[in-house]
Amino acid sequence: MSRTPLSPAHARWLLALSDPEGPGPDLSNLSPAAVPELLAAARAHLVLPVLWRRLREMRTAETAVALDKAHRELELLTAHGLLLTHYAGRIAAGLAPAQVRFAIVKGRAFAALYPHASDRPFTDIDMLVQPEDRAMVEATLEALDFVPAPRKTIDHSAAYGEFKWTARQAPNVLVEVHLNLVHYPLLRRTVSLSLDDLYAFGGAEAPAGRLIVAVAHAAAGHKFHALRLIVDVLQAARAMEAQTAQAFAETAVRRGWALEAGIALDLAARLYGDERAASIAALLPSTPARVLAARLLSETAILDAPQHGIASRLRRTLVRGLQHVRPARRR
């Protein structure tokens, strides 16, 4: 991955082309020489499928190598997604007799929000379960020939409430069992997304549930380190009707997610000029922390994030600090 920042012109192209439902800019104004750089940036920001779909008509001798490489990568991701979907079905069937409550979240659920499911590939199966049901879920995984994934030397599984399993016959099939989608214990003092919290938003398949998971993934997990996190928020907002949006905002305030939801929706609205995201954001309280976060999370800070730029990391870390200094949540 190149560490050279995108030029302002190419940054505008990346944003315009990474919107799955945007009208798409006039490609006649794009130089073929820019295509490999844009595809490399899209790969770093995890939005390669959308850019490849929009840029494939520009296949020439100059762009063929980059476009064909991207196509091969996407074919593998699509095939892997089908394999994961198969295993997710087996796991759901295995848990059905025990009537264990769980939710499949993030990647597979987000893909349903995109106009083309292949626009949002995923590389694992994320399950959110109740802490008291973890033993039953893991026993079911063992019965389906899953084994615990190798642990790192410094293992945070217990503290983060995240336990990884792989299929014995297909080690590239990864299942992550989550007890809470807010992994960091210090942050969990102020905000939580357990299975019960998710049900307060209507569950994993509800528009509000998908939006709050997208918000948590971007703001409480990865600190907006790639455009795909923001596009997930964008797509979840677009899937929400006005009446549902009001209920979402009220639940976000009640459950302590108003700051994160406001930050994420502000960012999606600003980067992609989306009125739906802006209208939902307007339902949430404006606070000094949210206003400051909007100043910190500039377009450049987001676009430079995959390159591990010092300024980007500092700005995004300061936003995480704003999340920490709130009063502890009510239990």
Q: Specify the 3-state DSSP secondary structure of 183.
A: coil
Question: What is the pLDDT averaged over residues 248-266?
Answer: 97
Nearest to 230 by CA among 202, 194, 184, 261: 261
Q: Specify the 3-state DSSP secondary structure of 314.
A: helix
Residue 40 tokens, joined? 């490399």
List pLDDT tens digits, range 94-147. 999 989 999 999 988 999 999 999 999 999 999 999 999 999 999 999 999 999
Q: Specify the 3-state DSSP secondary structure of 103.
A: strand
Q: What is residue 3's predicted lDDT score, i.e. its pLDDT? A: 53
Work out the burial of residue 22: count CB atoms within 10 Å of its CB; fewer than 13 is exposed, 13-18 middle, 19 or more buried: middle
Instruction: Give percent of the chain above pLDDT 90.
Output: 89
Q: What is the pTM of this model?
A: 0.95
Report the distance separating Cα 208 and Cα 200, nearest Å.
9
Question: pLDDT-derived band of residue 153, with 50, 70 and 90 as boundaries?
Answer: confident
CB atoms within 10 A of CB 191: 25
Question: pLDDT-derived band of residue 148, with 50, 70 and 90 as boundaries?
Answer: very high
| Mean pLDDT, all residues of the chain | 95
Question: What is the pLDDT averaged over residues 291-303?
Answer: 97
* Strand partners of residue 259: none
Nearest to 87 by CA among 16, 167, 14, 163: 167
Nearest to 135 by CA among 196, 168, 177, 89: 177
Residue 312 has pLDDT above 60, yes or no: yes
Question: How crowded is the C-beta side of 103, counted as CA atoms within 13 Å?
Answer: 27
Q: Which residue has the higher pLDDT, 45 or 151?
A: 45
Sheet holding 125-129, edge to edge: 102-105, 125-129, 170-178, 162-167, 146-148
Report the distance separating Cα 278 and Cα 288, nearest Å.
18
Q: Specify the 3-state DSSP secondary structure of 107.
A: helix
Nearest to 236 by CA among 194, 192, 191, 281: 281
Q: What is residue 118's predicted lDDT score, i.e. its pLDDT? A: 94
DSSP 8-state secondary structure symbol assigned to residue 170? E
User: Which residue is associated with the tokens 């870390």?
Assistant: 317
Question: pLDDT-derived band of residue 1, with 50, 70 and 90 as boundaries?
Answer: very low
Helix (H), strand (E), coil (C) string for 27-45: HHHCCHHHHHHHHHHHHHC
Residue 22 tokens, joined? 């945007």
Report the distance separating Cα 130 and Cα 281, nearest Å.
30
End-to-end CA distance of the chain: give it in Å, rounded. 43
Nearest to 167 by CA among 77, 106, 94: 94
CB proximity list for 52: less than 8 A, separation 6 or greater:
39, 42, 67, 70, 71, 74
CB proximity list for 229: less than 8 A, separation 6 or greater:
46, 214, 217, 218, 222
Residue 217 has pLDDT above 60, yes or no: yes
Report the distance separating Cα 204 and Cα 206, nearest Å.
6
Q: What is residue 4's predicted lDDT score, i.e. its pLDDT? A: 64
Report the distance separating Cα 270 and Cα 262, nearest Å.
12
Do the Cβ atoms of 117 and 107 come closer than 8 Å?
no
User: Which residue is associated with the tokens 């919290």?
Assistant: 197
User: Which residue is associated with the tokens 């239990």?
Assistant: 331
Q: What is residue 327's predicted lDDT score, i.e. its pLDDT? A: 79
